[in-house]
Amino acid sequence: MLRSLVLSTMLLALSASALAADCPALLQGELPKLRSQERIDLCGRFAGKPLLVVNTASFCGFTPQFKGLEALYQRYKGQGLEVLGVPSDDFRQEADSSEETAKVCYVNYGVTFSMTETQPVSGEQAIPLFKELAAQSQAPRWNFSKYVVDAQGRVIASFPSSTLPDDPKLIAALEQAIAAQP
């Protein structure tokens, strides 16, 4: 009995490490979901799917882009696209509470895509997701920087804050990521 328990534990550990090895570096780890006790397992949720990652802020001149980001998500989610919004106060424009951030996202703009709690996205304090995004492209220079990630976890395009969600170049990159799905 003890031997089978040890064997089961070893197999579980091996399968977990094999799963982590199959997961791209960009999607390693978890992030707390906005206004929830749940955590977002980045690999479990986004591996093998095209992904748009955006660092957001509630009180930025670019905040109305939430409306366009939601429209993109609605337009392409049936084709596998995922969107991940990561609020950040790195540029001093995020709400002081997650309640207020959630109100801006969910109530004011009707966001239905995944949103995390406020996270650092630039510099030494950046979370691993944004360190990897920066390594593959560049660190965000302001709120609403956009990263198009293919199904293999590679950044195929990045766009500055000034690029609107309906920009033809951003849409072309998203469609390229969608088309390249296995």
Beta-sheet pairing, 51-56 with 146-149: antiparallel
Q: What's the pLDDT at 21?
A: 53
Find the range with the poorest average confidence among 3-12, 27-36, 70-79, 82-91: 3-12
For the chain, the average pLDDT equals 91
Domains of the chain: 25-179 (3.40.30.10)
Write down the pTM of the prediction.
0.88
- Residue 166 tokens, joined: 């309906």
Task: Name the active-site residue from 23, 43, 60, 105.
Answer: 60
**11 pLDDT higher than 50:** no
Residues 85-96 as b or e (16 or more Cβ within 10 Å = b): bbbbbbbebbbe
* Alpha carbons 130 and 138: distance in angstroms, whole number: 9
Q: Per residue in 171-180, pLDDT tens?
A: 999 999 999 9
How many CA atoms lie less than 13 Å away from 48 in the CB half-sphere?
5
- Residue 163 tokens, joined: 């690029």
Confidence band, pLDDT 50/70/90 cuts, at residue 22: confident
Residue 60 designated active-site: yes
* Span 63-85, average pLDDT: 98
CA distances from 87 to 70, 90, 97, 163 (A): 15, 9, 11, 18
Confidence band, pLDDT 50/70/90 cuts, at residue 8: very low
* Span 165-175, average pLDDT: 98
Task: Tell me which of 5 and 138 has the higher pLDDT.
Answer: 138
Residues 39-78 as b or e (16 or more Cβ within 10 Å = b): ebebbebbbbbbbbbbbbbbebebbebbeebbebbeebee
What residues are paired with 84 via a beta bridge?
53, 114
* Alpha carbons 119 and 107: distance in angstroms, whole number: 21
